[in-house]
Amino acid sequence: MHPLLPSLAAALLYAGAAAYQGLRLTQRSIPDKRLLASLGALALCLHVVGLFFQLYDVHGLNLDFFNAASLIACAVIGLILLACLRIPVENLLLLLFPLGTLTVLAAQFMPSGTINPINEHPGILAHILFSILAYGMLTIAVFQSILLLLQDHQLKHKHPSGLIRNFPPLQTMESLLFGFLFAGWLLLSLSLLSGALYIDDLFAQHLAHKTILSCFAWVVFAVLLWGRHQLGWRGHKAIRWTLAGFCLLMLAYFGSKLVREFILHI
């Protein structure tokens, strides 16, 4: 099967779900959670089908720049849809569905960079899995921090919009943020550990910059979690540290991939 049809269908469903959710929130009414989850789950299934045919070929795993972005978006949306069953995080879908639309279309229509297919032993594949889950969980934390910043701003100025009226209390939003951060930090720890165990030569494999920046990001998130536990960090300080760590992590992965695939062609 060609990935074009499921990819286009997934993009349309993501866009439709985002439009429905946005329209309901601007009308200051609560979206139907079952309908929203159903649209998202169907889009996610089609996203997975399209990704399967884009990622796998006879030579191995084709994890180029845009395929990687699409895979991480897929993981993020899947995690949030599962989380919606237990905790009130459906507002994050308003940001994640457009992300899914963009990454699905980019993976389908943007040119591929220079990259060798990945055909490695299970240890390297486990490292890749932990990395994707870590990036996904920390992406959720960043989106949660953006919503938290918006909620805090509107509550301080006493003019909450329809979106903010459907948010959980500020304290719950902060607790969710640090829950996502802790889970992402643990997954990033596993990613770095598995990389140290199974990657033979960082310089020969052009992974030194990625590893160094990822370690810096790990330290930033570790300090943030320590500051929360020991010093009670919250609000704008927590959001700034979250964004700083995320920027380092995105430079580590997508920055290095962009340079390698589209500039250096290695």
pLDDT digits (tens, 9 = 90+) for 166-178: 777 878 888 899 9
Please tell me whether residues 24 and 135 are part of one structural domain: no
Domain of 53 in residue numbering reads as: 1-117
Whether residue 122 is found in the same domain as residue 242: yes
- The pLDDT, as a whole number, for residue 242 is 93
Percent share of the chain, pLDDT over 70: 82
Of 199 and 107, more confident = 107
Whether 56 and 90 map to the same domain: the answer is yes
The overall average pLDDT reported for the chain is 84
Of 101, 117, 133, the residue that ends a domain is 117
* Residue 77 sits in the same domain as residue 99: yes
What is the mean predicted confidence (pLDDT) over 126-150?
Answer: 88
Residue 68 phi, psi dihedral angles, 5° rounding = -65, -45
- Measured CA angle at 74 (ends 72, 75), to 5 deg: 65
* End-to-end CA, the chain: 30
Q: Are residues 108 and 155 in the same domain?
A: no
Same domain membership, residue 39 and residue 144: no
Q: How many domains does the chain have?
A: 2
Is 165 in the same domain as 59?
no
Write down which residue in 85, 117, 149 finishes a domain: 117
Shared domain check, 192 and 87: no
- CA 210 from chain center: how many Å? 18
- Identity of the amino acid at 41: A
User: Model confidence over 51-101: pLDDT tens digits?
Assistant: 988 887 666 677 778 888 899 999 999 999 998 888 888 889 999 999 999
pLDDT of residue 17: 96
**In a shared domain, residues 54 and 100:** yes
Q: 242 — phi, psi (to 5°)?
A: -60, -45
What's the CA angle centered on 13, arms 144 and 27, to 5 degrees? 60
Q: Does residue 74 share a domain with residue 11?
A: yes
Cα-based distances in Å from 31 to 24, 28, 37: 6, 9, 10
- Cα separation of 150 and 182, whole Å? 22
Is residue 100 domain-shared with residue 196, that is, in the same domain?
no
Considering 84, 117, 150, which residue would you say is the last residue of a domain? 117
Residue 203 has pLDDT above 50, yes or no: no
pLDDT for res 194: 85
Residues 83, 209 share a domain = no
CB-based contact 252:214 (threshold 8 Å): yes
